[in-house]
Amino acid sequence: MLLVMDVGNTITVIGLYEGPELRAHWRSITGNYRTSDELRVFLNMLLQGEGLKPAAVNGCCVSSVVPPLNAALTDLCANHFGAELVFVEPGVKTGLVIQVDNPKEVGADRIVNAVGALEEHKGPLIVIDFGTATTFDAISAQGEYRGGVIVPGIKTGADALFEKCAKLPSVEIIKPPRVIGKDTIEHIRSGLTYGYADMVDGLILRMATEMEDTPTVVATGGFAELVSGIATRIGHVDPYLTLKGLRAVFLKNRKGSG
């Protein structure tokens, strides 16, 4: 079985593949300084919940934007599971041509999302990931990564309002019944949902004008469903896009793949 992990700034998404089938998936809070022993205990518990032992895992693919965890993740996969490890980093085969000024600056999660999107859709593509930051990535019809946009994520924006504005409360981020709110909580929710969705639509439109053909827009991440229900230019929502991309990268790099 293949264990895939996308380690983000806030959330770590974990998937377990049995062949092409996603057998199980989990979301966990990212702990920046967990040891390999802590990770081992945690993952063993997840596997036990599926009736599996660590020996069932013979492959791992990891993308991480949290460098302090990388050594522990490498030790976990190589020494605890004894699994073939592919770490998404410069030099790993992805099938993408990275056409930016400094390819090493592009986050591993963004590369994996692009690979996952190309597994499901033909380019050109705009891939949006609603995470701690919301990222927009432009992929050409030829599978070239052309660059993108980074903006604060919805939750990041909400937290900033709460922390920086003394009289504004922390709110649950849900779609309010109307744009013009009737109280402070509705005002904030309207800005975080309708306002954010309009920003997303606007950036999609601006990006599309710089691309050679009309792109297909694919969204993933924690707030993808919420925003896609309000925005008008998101064509597809795929909650497992990153996991699919990790599996695809592993298959391109595993021993004997050529």
Give the up-direction half-sphere exposure of residue 232: CA atoms within 13 A in the CB hemisphere.
4
In the set 6, 109, 137, 238, the catalytic residue is 109
Does the annotation mark 109 as catalytic? yes
Token digits of residue 155:
């939750």
How many Å separate Cα 211 from the centre of its chain?
A: 23
d(CA 16, CA 86): 15
Taking only Cα atoms into account, the Rg of the chain, rounded to an integer number of angstroms, comes to: 19
| Residues tagged active-site | 109
